[in-house]
Amino acid sequence: MKFKRHIELEHGLRQIDIAPLIDIVFQLLIFFMLTSSFIMQPGIKVNLPKAVTSQVVKEQNIIIVISSEDVIYIENKLFTLKELRSFLEDKSKAKPTILIKSDRRSSLGTVVEVWDLCRDIGISQVNIATDLK
């Protein structure tokens, strides 16, 4: 029995065609680009006011978000002022730093009420988030 020592490609297949491979790679690329753009990040849309004298705060904060409709959120959960008071009283033993992210169209009264509530509980570090101009 004789075995062929040199296996040759058939006459029509001298080269491997990579055009279908490129087509599939581009289709996969387009698929992943389209599906990744539809992933929505949950959150509350807040347009922060602009300030020239803003500083970056690098401490661990409790972030209180006040929307343009004067609704108060902490970690995407809705809070009333009474619920906020009890939540902050529980956290006040650790002396937290509060960061208030208020929409520029929210009323100043709501921001002041939250600020006064924090001061009344005994939290002395209260910051307001802004965007740089």
CATH class of 50-132: alpha beta
Q: What is the pLDDT of residues 21-73, one digit of tens each?
A: 999 999 999 988 887 766 665 666 666 677 766 666 666 678 899 998 989 99
Mean pLDDT of 92-112: 87
Find where tokens 């910051």 sit: 127
Higher-pLDDT residue of 109, 131 = 109
Mean pLDDT of 121-125: 87
| pLDDT at position 94 over 60 | yes
Rounded Cα distance between 66 and 77, Å, is: 11
The string of DSSP letters for 58-74 reads -S-EEEEEE-TT--EEE
| pLDDT at position 115 over 80 | yes
**b/e for 98-120, b at 16 or more Cβ within 10 A?**
bbbbbbeebeeebbebbbebbee
Strand partners, 79: 72
Mean pLDDT of 94-99: 86
The string of DSSP letters for 101-123 reads EE-TTS-HHHHHHHHHHHHHHT-
Higher-pLDDT residue of 39, 129 = 129
3-state secondary structure (DSSP) of residue 98 = strand
Domain boundaries, the chain: 50-132
Q: Could you give the percent of the chain with pLDDT greater than 90?
A: 23
Q: Give the pLDDT score at 126.
A: 87
pLDDT tier at 127, thresholds 50, 70, 90: confident
